[in-house]
Amino acid sequence: MPSAVVSDLFFQCEHCGTSLVVDRVAAGMALACQSCGADVTVPQAKEDLAIASGVSPSSTERKSELQRHLKENESQRTEITGYINQLTIQLHRWQLRLQTLTERRTELSAELASLSGET
């Protein structure tokens, strides 16, 4: 299992329900939710709590947790893909606007040059 997955904590904002992911070292810390901005306390990892209490999670619990992590991961991927698509559309609009302004500058410069040549 990759170390990045092991070091991540997945949880939900208790205010808006947004799925959040942070590094395991942030457990117990307070941070602002990326969605609603409310202060959220990062929970301890279930595995850390189980290890501290001397109880190891069963394979069924681990499988359920991994499936939940996959679902949250896919949800976050979908959200980010949507943001990328929106920004790509915005970038294309700005590129078209820049092209129009460049063409207009060329036209105005040519007209100015022809008027300067007449005087």
Element (H, E) at 39: strand 39-41
* Average per-residue pLDDT for the chain: 84
Q: What would the two tokens of residue 102 be? A: 């460049």
Q: What confidence score (pLDDT) does residue 11 get?
A: 85
Gap between the Cα atoms of 109 and 104, Å rounded: 8
The answer on pLDDT for 73 being more than 60 is: yes
**Cβ count near 48 (within 10 Å):** 13
Token couple for 95 = 């590129």
Query: pTM for the full model?
Result: 0.46
The pLDDT of residue 50? 53
Q: Are 41 and 29 in contact (CB under 8 A)?
A: yes
- Cα–Cα nearest to 47, from 9, 85, 17: 9
Q: Is the pLDDT of residue 41 over 50?
A: yes
Q: What are the Cα distances from residue 67, in Å, to 64, 74, 77? A: 5, 11, 15
The band of 62, judged by pLDDT with boundaries at 50, 70 and 90, is confident
Amino acid 52: pLDDT: 52
pLDDT in tens, 4-17: 445 788 888 889 98
